[in-house]
C-alpha cells in the first residue's frame, strides 16, 4: 500500500473540464472544490 506524507489540500472556486469548460463550485452547490496537493508517495509494507 502507498501512503501520503503530507495532508496539504488545495481549494479552488472552479475546475476546468477536459472539454475546456469551467465548472464553478456554486453551480453544484459548493463553496469550493478540494484536492490533495500532489506529492511524493512512499511504500508502506
Q: Report the domain count for the chain.
A: 1
pLDDT at 12: 95
How far apart are alpha carbons 28 and 34 in whole angstroms?
13
Domain span at residue 33? Answer: 2-39
**Does residue 29 belong to any structural domain of this protein?**
yes
**Does residue 25 belong to any structural domain of this protein?**
yes
Cell reading at 33:
472544490
pLDDT, one tens digit per residue, over 1-45 is 566 566 788 999 999 999 999 999 999 999 999 988 876 666 666
Q: Confirm if 17 and 23 have CB atoms less than 8 A apart.
A: yes
How far apart are alpha carbons 42 and 23 in whole angstroms?
33
**Does residue 45 belong to any structural domain of this protein?**
no
Amino acid at each position: 500500500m502507498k501512503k501520503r506524507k503530507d495532508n496539504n489540500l488545495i481549494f479552488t472556486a472552479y475546475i476546468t473540464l477536459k472539454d475546456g469548460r469551467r465548472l464553478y463550485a456554486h453551480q453544484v452547490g459548493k463553496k469550493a472544490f478540494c484536492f490533495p496537493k500532489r506529492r511524493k508517495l512512499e511504500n508502506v509494507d
